[in-house]
């Protein structure tokens, strides 16, 4: 099975292969001059499940490594810019 999608400017190409009875994925993600290749991940019982698992994992990997516009660091930076007094108040309100 072959699947291709665009994600935040990245081209994600996923191919599923049978490795001794287990379906696994091979993927290439690229954008302009950058390219990453992943092999033998997203094990599953079916091609569709392997491709879906690979797609989710790759999008998460791009986000985690700050290669997209969606990053956890950006969110935490906004919190860190608040004065310490406000941070304490927010923590106290949760408990």
User: What average pLDDT does range 33-50 have in this prediction?
Assistant: 95
How large is the C-alpha radius of gyration of the chain?
19
> Partners of 16 in the beta sheet?
25
Asked if the model's pLDDT at residue 14 lies above 90, the reply is yes
pLDDT at residue 93 in the model: 46
For tokens 């949760």, what's the residue?
94
Determine whether domain 2-69 maps to CATH 3.30.160: yes
Q: What pLDDT, on the 0 to 100 scale, is given for residue 70? A: 58
Q: Report the pLDDT value the prediction gives residue 73, as an integer from 0 to 100.
A: 44
Phi, psi for 83 (deg, rounded to 5): -60, 150
What is residue 1's DSSP assignment?
-
Among candidates 80, 56, 65, 47, which has minimal Cα distance to 5?
Answer: 56
Answer whether 0.85 is exceeded by the pTM. no
């Amino acid at each position: 099975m072959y699947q291709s999608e665009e994600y935040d400017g990245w081209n994600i190409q996923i191919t599923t292969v049978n490795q001794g009875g287990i379906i696994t994925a091979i993927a290439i993600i690229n954008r302009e001059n950058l390219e990453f290749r992943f092999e033998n991940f997203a094990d599953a019982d079916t091609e569709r499940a392997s491709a879906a698992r690979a797609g989710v994992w790759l999008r998460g990997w791009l986000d985690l490594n700050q290669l997209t516009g969606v990053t956890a660091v950006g969110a935490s930076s906004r919190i860190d810019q608040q004065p310490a007094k406000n941070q304490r108040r927010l923590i106290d309100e949760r408990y």
